[in-house]
């Protein structure tokens, strides 16, 4: 028993050991290359960037764990933020209006999640295609309802203002939202039957059905959770910037997926933890910031981001295949490996 | 019959895997224009010899002759080059293409720049005419039934001048009408002088088709029968050999008639009809029959994984739920046939795999108790001797036997009232088999109802207290432990009544 515990701690220690080492290394490099990195203003902007990606990643984790993907998170954030803003603009800055607007945006997110879940779980459509399509549809819808305009909120005050700009012990509200959502996600996934069943559905949907776990239910709810967190991120964004635009979270799916992949979430489903995603979001935030600080132009920045995604996915796929012991599967998929060797013993 | 040449002959073929010899000096002989059947129990070496002839495996020693010329077969290409074609169970046709396009796929006849479609069509038509197939060369494969697709596969083989066509369980995916269609195709081929090596475990098919039959047992060719010598009794005796009952049961359990799972007039699509049975507490009820006879569907209907088309299932007088989750809480469990696709979760660890069906016990407050979960997994690993003993290892990394212990242990730890097992020891080594049997017997001793579907005759005969045989979608025979033998069960599975056992 003791040996087992020791081994386990060693394994857990080593993965976090690696992660901390990487973080420290990146920060040290930053400190040497660009001392401005440690300015309080820069720290704050890193934290905020991480917070927005992180809020969405906490929900996206559920979708990726059940073996899906949600590419529409940027448009879900835009739609949620826009509905929230329009409702507030049409009424007032009272707390009552704020809560109604907030719930309205969440409700729309639930509908979007239901739609995604239906297409995946009931029609068996690949989530990649479904959410790519809804991404366009939702951007279009957001443009349509805003008549393609930016919606500035000139008289922002009260809860609407506090949502994105408030601070608790000096920590900006979006960061607190991220921490709270991450803790809830980690708790649900680790400690509740629902969370464990999410892993089961992603790990093997047929086997899950045979132990009484409905893959349809868990897929539907995972997409809903993801859309809701994206919508929350959108509302945080409009509140902080005091302006809503359909482009405000465009391209967010990239860094969010990068955070998941760097956090060792298996894109085939069934494997990954909130702790890993937390680390991934941290690293993505710092790297993005680094690329800005070094002052390279935007085109090149995207090139580097792209390379990092490819590298992270390659490592992710390689390690997950190794952990599944899929050597045989590889042979099945690549039949030419089975060709008998010439010169084998012959009489 | 005209004078027949020997088309394919093997001499002294040997092969072993990991030090276990699976083929010992196998001689095989197929004549021109004959349908030569190959039979044997699972693991007798049928598929290994076929794979050697077709270049999938490499033989260790021995020689293959085609028309009495020694040939070397190192790859599938070599086999094809020597006129050996295989019709696979999963067909290798491209559904979106036409018959002609499929037949010439990868070996198109070229015109000046583009494939010469006219010429190819002409050749396919000539082939169709020659073998009197009823196929349109322009038809798209996707629109065809399975039997017709097989005919296209056969045409493809004939287009490269196959001397011998190997068919491995070709009827397993066919309906009765389609099977008859395939048989008449085979008759035509035989009349045209094409040799067929036909593998099947259905006696009636062998009797209908085969000119000669080779029987294999434990990697040895145990006998060749001519058509007139093929009788169910002779074939099964050859397949099973001298029967020794191993580890004879010392005491027979008395079934508890108060704890009963009852199935009445169960119907499932056109696979099962009017299935009636009672399974009692404290007994292991074996269910035998051929693969595809509906055994798996029967226990999946009981479990709620499939919707029955009619009939009723009751446990101790109360109807069994149609929802798996509720049946599990009510004390049921299922160990499915294919553990890799339906049984375990490869990326989840041992503890997670063991506890996945028991959150009702581990999370009474809605939150999983880490302590209880750890205890649950540790107890299971100890009680069922799962290796490695570290609960955090992903189950995908375990050996087949240990994976199966995890899948079985998942239910045993819940102390189930009804345990349904589908091929519980498939692909598991002998040592682990014995352990699994001991676990099943222990559970039976505790009074649970155990229903075990198995194709392993030895297992069926030695482990079951009572055996029901499914034939043509109905229960055909019932044997008690005392009067069950592998021979009997094999015959009953093919619908042969020897007078022993109880006819149902």
- Tens digits of residue pLDDT in B171-182: 877 777 788 888
> Is the separation of the CB atoms in B467 and B461 below 8 Å?
yes
Position A345 scores a pLDDT of 37
Structure tokens at A148: 């393609």
> Is the separation of the CB atoms in B499 and B249 below 8 Å?
no
CB proximity A14 to B under 8 Å:
no
∠ CA(B454), CA(B44), CA(B479), 5° rounding?
A: 35
Position A155 scores a pLDDT of 86
Distance CA(A131)–CA(A125), nearest Å, equals 10
Distance CA(A63)–CA(A228), nearest Å, equals 12
DSSP B115: B
CB proximity A212 to B under 8 Å:
yes
Domain boundaries A16-318, corresponding CATH code: 1.10.3470
Residues of B (58-117) whose Cβ lies below 8 Å from A: 58-63, 72, 74-75
**pTM, two decimal places:** 0.81
CB proximity A343 to B under 8 Å:
no
Distance CA(A229)–CA(B206), nearest Å, equals 63
Position B2 scores a pLDDT of 52
- Tens digits of residue pLDDT in B213-240: 999 988 899 999 999 998 888 888 888 8
Strand-pairing partners, residue B263, are B277, B313
Is the backbone peptide bond immediately before A261 cis, with ω within 30 degrees of 0? Answer: no
Q: Do A206 and B342 touch (CB under 8 A)?
A: yes
Burial of A298 (0-12, 13-18, 19+ CB in 10 A): exposed
Distance CA(B418)–CA(B328), nearest Å, equals 9
Q: Do A207 and B74 touch (CB under 8 A)?
A: no
Domains and CATH numbers, chain B: 6-240 (3.40.50.300), 246-331+416-504 (3.40.50.300), 348-413 (no CATH)
Nearest Cα to A210, choosing from B341, B395, B392, B417?
B341
Which chain B residue lies closest to A191 (C-alpha atoms)? B368
* Total residues found in chain A within this entry: 347
* Residues B270/B275/B279/B285 CA torsion (nearest 10 deg): -60
- Tens digits of residue pLDDT in B410-424: 999 999 999 999 999
3 state DSSP class of B502: strand
Q: Using a CB-CB distance cutoff of 8 angstroms, which residues of chain A are in contact with residue B343?
A: 207, 210
CB proximity A290 to B under 8 Å:
no
Q: Do A325 and B62 touch (CB under 8 A)?
A: no
- Tens digits of residue pLDDT in B421-450: 999 998 787 788 889 999 999 999 999 999
Q: Do B368 and A192 touch (CB under 8 A)?
A: yes
Nearest Cα to B192, choosing from B148, B162, B214, B227?
B162
Q: Using a CB-CB distance cutoff of 8 angstroms, which residues of chain B are in contact with residue A216?
A: none
Q: What are phi and psi of A55, to 5 degrees?
A: -60, -45
Distance CA(B478)–CA(B470), nearest Å, equals 9
Structure tokens at B462: 């030695």
Other CB atoms within a 10 A radius of the CB of residue B375 amount to 12
A190 Cβ neighbours under 8 A, 6+ residues apart: A273, B368
Q: Do B341 and A204 touch (CB under 8 A)?
A: yes
- Tens digits of residue pLDDT in B37-71: 999 887 788 888 999 999 989 999 999 999 999 99
Q: Do B61 and A206 touch (CB under 8 A)?
A: no
Distance of CA A117 to the CA centre of its chain: 17
- For residues B302-325, give the mean pLDDT: 94
Position B23 scores a pLDDT of 92
Which single residue is written with the structure tokens 């062998």?
B206
* Total residues found in chain B within this entry: 504
Is pLDDT larger for residue A40 or for residue B286? B286
Position A116 scores a pLDDT of 97
Q: Which helix (H) or strand (E) holds B47?
A: helix B46-53
Q: Do B367 and A199 touch (CB under 8 A)?
A: no
B50 Cβ neighbours under 8 A, 6+ residues apart: B38, B86, B166, B168, B197, B199
Other CB atoms within a 10 A radius of the CB of residue B309 amount to 14
Sequence-ordered alpha helix ranges (H) in chain A: 2-33, 40-65, 73-90, 95-117, 127-145, 158-165, 173-191, 193-203, 205-210, 215-241, 253-262, 274-293, 298-324, 327-333
Q: Which helix (H) or strand (E) holds B297?
A: helix B295-303
CB proximity A211 to B under 8 Å:
yes
3 state DSSP class of A186: helix
Distance of CA A163 to the CA centre of its chain: 21
Q: How far is B360 from chain A (nearest CA, A)?
A: 8
Strand-pairing partners, residue B450, are B284, B419
Q: Do B328 and A338 touch (CB under 8 A)?
A: no
DSSP character string of A104-121: HHHHHHHHHHHHHHIIII
Q: Which CA distances in Å does A55 have to A52, A150, A185, A231, B351? A: 5, 24, 10, 10, 30
Distance CA(B227)–CA(A266), nearest Å, equals 57
CB proximity B345 to A under 8 Å:
yes
> Is the separation of the CB atoms in A63 and A217 below 8 Å?
no
Best of A340, A342, A345 to mutate (most B CBs within 10 Å, chain B):
A340
Q: Which helix (H) or strand (E) holds B264?
A: strand B256-268
> Is the separation of the CB atoms in A78 and A150 below 8 Å?
no
Q: Secondary structure of B306-320 in the HEC alphabet?
A: CCCCEEEEEECCEEC
Position A336 scores a pLDDT of 43
Which chain A residue lies closest to B344 (C-alpha atoms)? A207
- Say whether pLDDT at B248 is over 70: no
Domain boundaries, chain A: 16-318
pLDDT confidence tier of residue B333, bands split at 50, 70 and 90? very high
- Tens digits of residue pLDDT in B10-28: 999 999 887 778 899 999 9
DSSP character string of B273-296: EEEEEEEEET-EEEEEE-TTSSHH
Q: Do B347 and A324 touch (CB under 8 A)?
A: yes
- Say whether pLDDT at B472 is over 90: no
Which of B327, B336, B367 lies closest to A191 in CB terms?
A: B367
Position A332 scores a pLDDT of 41
A156 Cβ neighbours under 8 A, 6+ residues apart: A93, A239, A242
Query: What does DSSP say about strands B164-168 and B195-199: parallel, antiparallel, or unpaired?
Result: parallel
In angstroms, how far is the first alpha carbon of chain A from the final one? Answer: 52
DSSP character string of B204-251: HHHHHH-SEEEEEETTEEEEEEEGGG--HHHHHHHHH-S----S--SS
- Tens digits of residue pLDDT in A220-238: 999 999 999 999 999 999 9
3 state DSSP class of B45: coil
Q: In this predicted complex, what is the ipTM?
A: 0.84
Nearest Cα to B442, choosing from B383, B485, B388?
B383
∠ CA(A75), CA(A79), CA(A81), 5° rounding?
A: 115
**Rama region for B336: left / alpha / beta (φ>0; ψ in -120 to 50; rest):** beta
Which single residue is written with the structure tokens 């007032």?
A92
Positions of chain A with pLDDT lower than 70, given as ranges? 1-14, 316-317, 319-347
Distance CA(A196)–CA(A226), nearest Å, equals 17
Sequence-ordered alpha helix ranges (H) in B356-493: 359-362, 370-383, 400-412, 430-445, 457-463, 486-493
Distance of CA A149 to the CA centre of its chain: 28
- Say whether pLDDT at B8 is over 90: yes
Distance CA(A115)–CA(A126), nearest Å, equals 13
């Amino acid at each position: 028993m003791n040996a087992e515990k020791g081994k386990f701690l060693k394994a857990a220690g080593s993965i976090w050991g690696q992660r901390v080492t990487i973080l420290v290394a990146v920060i040290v490099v930053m400190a040497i290359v660009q001392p401005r990195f440690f300015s309080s203003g820069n720290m704050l902007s890193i934290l905020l960037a991480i917070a927005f990606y992180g809020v969405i990643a906490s929900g996206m984790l559920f979708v990726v764990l059940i073996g899906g993907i949600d590419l529409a998170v940027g448009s879900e954030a835009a739609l949620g933020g826009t509905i929230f803003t329009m409702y507030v603009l049409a009424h007032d800055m009272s707390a009552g209006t704020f809560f109604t607007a907030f719930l309205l945006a969440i409700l729309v997110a639930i509908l979007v999640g239901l739609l995604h879940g239906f297409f995946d779980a009931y029609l068996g459509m690949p989530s990649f295609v479904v959410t790519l399509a809804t991404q366009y549809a939702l951007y279009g819808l957001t443009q349509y309802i805003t008549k393609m305009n930016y919606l500035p909120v000139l008289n922002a005050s009260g809860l609407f203002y506090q949502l994105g700009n408030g601070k608790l012990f000096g920590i900006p509200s979006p960061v607190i939202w991220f921490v709270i959502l991450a803790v809830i996600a980690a708790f649900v996934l680790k400690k509740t039957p629902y969370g464990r069943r999410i892993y089961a559905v992603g790990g093997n949907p047929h086997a899950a059905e045979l132990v009484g776990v409905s893959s349809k239910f868990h897929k539907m709810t995972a997409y809903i959770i993801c859309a809701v967190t994206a919508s929350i991120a959108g509302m945080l964004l409009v509140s902080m910037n005091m302006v809503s635009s359909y482009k405000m979270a465009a391209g967010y799916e990239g860094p969010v997926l990068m955070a998941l992949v760097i956090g060792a979430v298996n894109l085939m489903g069934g494997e990954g933890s909130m702790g890993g995603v937390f680390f991934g979001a941290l690293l993505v935030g710092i790297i993005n910031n680094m690329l800005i600080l070094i002052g390279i132009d935007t085109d090149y920045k995207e090139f580097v981001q792209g390379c990092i995604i490819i590298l992270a996915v390659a490592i992710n796929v390689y390690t997950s295949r190794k952990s599944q012991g899929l050597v045989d599967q590889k042979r099945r998929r690549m039949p030419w490996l089975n060709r008998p060797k010439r010169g084998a013993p012959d009489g | 019959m005209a004078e027949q040449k020997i088309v394919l002959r093997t001499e002294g073929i040997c092969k072993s895997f990991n030090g276990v010899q699976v083929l010992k000096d196998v001689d095989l002989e197929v004549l021109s224009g004959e349908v030569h059947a190959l039979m044997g129990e699972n693991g007798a070496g049928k598929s290994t010899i076929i794979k050697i002839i077709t270049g999938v495996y490499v033989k260790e020693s021995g020689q293959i002759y085609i028309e009495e010329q020694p040939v070397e077969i190192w790859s599938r290409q070599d086999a094809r080059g020597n006129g050996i074609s295989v019709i696979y169970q999963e067909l290798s046709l491209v559904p979106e293409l036409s018959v002609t396009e499929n037949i010439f796929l990868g070996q198109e006849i070229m015109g000046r720049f583009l494939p010469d479609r006219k010429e190819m069509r002409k050749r396919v038509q000539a082939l169709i005419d020659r073998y009197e197939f009823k196929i349109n060369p322009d038809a798209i494969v996707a629109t065809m039934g399975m039997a017709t697709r097989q005919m296209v596969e056969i045409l493809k083989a004939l287009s490269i001048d196959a001397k011998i066509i190997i068919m491995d369980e070709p009827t397993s995916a066919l309906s009765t009408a389609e099977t008859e269609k395939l048989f008449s195709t085979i008759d035509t081929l035989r009349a045209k002088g094409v040799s067929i090596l036909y593998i099947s475990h259905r006696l009636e098919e062998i009797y209908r088709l085969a000119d000669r039959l080779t029987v294999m047992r434990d990697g040895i060719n145990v006998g060749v029968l001519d058509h007139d010598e093929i009788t169910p009794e002779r074939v099964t005796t050859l397949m099973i050999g001298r029967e020794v009952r191993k580890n004879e049961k010392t005491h027979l359990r008395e079934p508890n008639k108060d704890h009963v799972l009852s199935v009445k007039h169960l119907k499932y699509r056109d696979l099962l009809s009017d299935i009636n049975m009672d399974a009692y507490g404290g007994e292991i009820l074996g269910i035998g029959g051929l693969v595809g006879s509906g055994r798996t569907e029967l226990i999946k209907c009981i479990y709620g994984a499939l919707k029955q088309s009619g009939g009723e299932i009751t446990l101790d007088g109360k109807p069994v739920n149609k929802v798996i989750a509720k049946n599990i809480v009510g004390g049921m469990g299922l160990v499915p046939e294919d553990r890799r696709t339906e049984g375990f979760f490869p990326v989840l660890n041992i503890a997670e795999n063991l506890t996945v069906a028991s959150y009702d016990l581990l999370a009474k407050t809605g939150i999983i108790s880490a302590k209880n979960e750890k205890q649950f997994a540790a107890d299971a690993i100890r009680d069922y001797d799962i290796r490695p003993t570290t609960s955090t290892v992903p189950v995908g990394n375990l050996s087949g036997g240990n994976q199966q212990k995890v899948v079985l242990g998942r239910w045993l730890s819940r102390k189930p009232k009804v345990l349904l097992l589908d091929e519980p020891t498939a692909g598991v080594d002998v040592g682990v088999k014995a352990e699994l049997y001991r676990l099943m017997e222990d559970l039976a001793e505790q009074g649970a109802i155990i229903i075990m579907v198995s194709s392993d005759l030895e297992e069926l005969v030695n482990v079951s207290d009572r055996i029901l045989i499914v034939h043509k979608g109905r229960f055909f025979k019932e044997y008690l432990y005392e009067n069950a033998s592998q021979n009997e069960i094999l015959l009953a599975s093919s619908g042969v009544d020897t007078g022993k056992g109880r006819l149902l």
